[in-house]
């Protein structure tokens, strides 16, 4: 028989309306958030450090109460339905809480034994499988206190994968990982989505969201800037002008006179942001008329970073 397709969620798996969190000192961490995460998506929750992402996730998981507004997970109100909902949700938030004196394997065994919905008969097999999925089998017997930050992140992700989950909530899951580890976690996220799990992934890394997510929301200073399919978020944003020429200095001078902003010259290439009301073809003609040898001319596809800058009028501070 042919292998059956994984069952996929339909409708919104996460939904918030006016979700707001104001801390005692008056700081508004999350301001009137209306978020809708489609079932079956890999949803990127994007924003600089301090933009309200982790506070939002803590409210979604019922860890803190909102000041106002509502949040629903898997169609149920949070935090009221937390007991019914959370067994169907795997989460990695602000790094895993580990017992340093226990091995990675024993940490997972203890974590699973504390879950009243977990079957003790399959515990060891499920722990072994989770360790294998995150690439920790060879380090399973090592004490967690000897783990690097990246290994701890992997172990936290393994804990979230001990049982099948309808929803996986990951807060900066590649934090502390080397480039190879980041690629492995992205690959795992894609696998989980292919199996029918909805993945909600927060990150301050724009390229991470572009590479792995189907949908995204952009946060800035506690407010939602935009949300939607990743392919559409940058589509309405004009990309940068890119000119290949051996005459970079002259090209920069001409383009600057024509109102092109943020010009950058590197070797035989010049890039910049043309005025919105200017036809790129007119810029090309002006360069040629001025004797600039143009070997290539075009508009680069806009990235999420371009969209963020266009929407907020400021750069994306990845260091926070």
pTM as predicted: 0.76
pLDDT at residue 320 tops 80: no
Structure confidence by residue, pLDDT tens digits, 257-314: 998 888 888 889 998 888 878 888 888 999 999 999 999 888 776 666 666 666 665 5
For residue 188, name the pLDDT band (cuts at 50, 70, 90).
confident
Question: Distances in Å between the alpha carbon of 173 and those of 34, 203, 275, 320?
Answer: 24, 8, 38, 17
**Residues of the chain above pLDDT 90, percent:** 40
pLDDT tier for residue 218 given thresholds of 50, 70 and 90? confident
CA nearest 316: which of 172, 204, 228, 212?
A: 204
Average pLDDT rounded to a whole number, residues 163-191: 87
Instruction: Give dist(CA 33, CA 223) in Å, integer.
Output: 6
- Under 8 Å between Cβ of 287 and 251: yes
């Amino acid at each position: 028989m042919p292998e059956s397709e994984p069952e996929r969620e339909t409708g919104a798996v996460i939904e918030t309306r006016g979700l707001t969190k104001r801390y005692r000192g008056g700081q508004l961490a999350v301001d009137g958030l209306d978020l809708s995460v489609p079932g079956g998506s890999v949803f990127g929750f994007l924003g600089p450090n301090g933009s309200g992402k982790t506070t939002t996730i803590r409210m979604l998981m019922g860890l803190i109460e909102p000041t106002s507004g509502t949040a629903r997970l898997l169609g149920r109100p949070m935090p009221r339905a937390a007991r019914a909902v959370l067994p169907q949700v795997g989460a990695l938030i602000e790094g895993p809480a580990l017992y340093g004196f226990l091995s990675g394997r024993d940490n997972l065994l203890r974590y699973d034994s504390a879950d009243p919905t977990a079957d003790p008969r399959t515990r060891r097999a499920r722990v072994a499988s989770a360790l294998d999925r995150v690439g920790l089998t060879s380090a399973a017997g090592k004490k967690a206190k000897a783990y690097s930050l990246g290994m701890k992140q992997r172990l936290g992700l393994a804990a979230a994968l001990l049982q099948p989950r309808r929803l996986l909530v990951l807060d900066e899951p590649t934090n502390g990982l080397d480039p190879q580890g980041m690629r492995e976690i992205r690959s795992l996220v894609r696998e989980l989505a292919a199996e029918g799990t909805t993945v909600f992934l927060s990150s301050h890394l724009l390229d991470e969201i572009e590479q792995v997510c189907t949908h995204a929301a952009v946060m800035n200073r506690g407010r939602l800037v935009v949300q939607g399919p990743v392919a559409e978020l940058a589509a309405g944003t004009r990309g940068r002008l890119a000119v290949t020429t051996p005459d970079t200095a002259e090209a920069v001078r001409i383009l600057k006179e024509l109102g092109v902003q943020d010009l950058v010259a590197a070797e035989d290439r010049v890039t910049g942001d043309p005025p919105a009301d200017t036809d790129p073809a007119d810029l090309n003609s002006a360069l040629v008329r001025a004797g600039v040898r143009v070997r290539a001319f075009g508009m680069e596809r806009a990235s999420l970073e371009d969209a963020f800058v266009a929407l907020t009028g400021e750069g994306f501070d990845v260091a926070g």
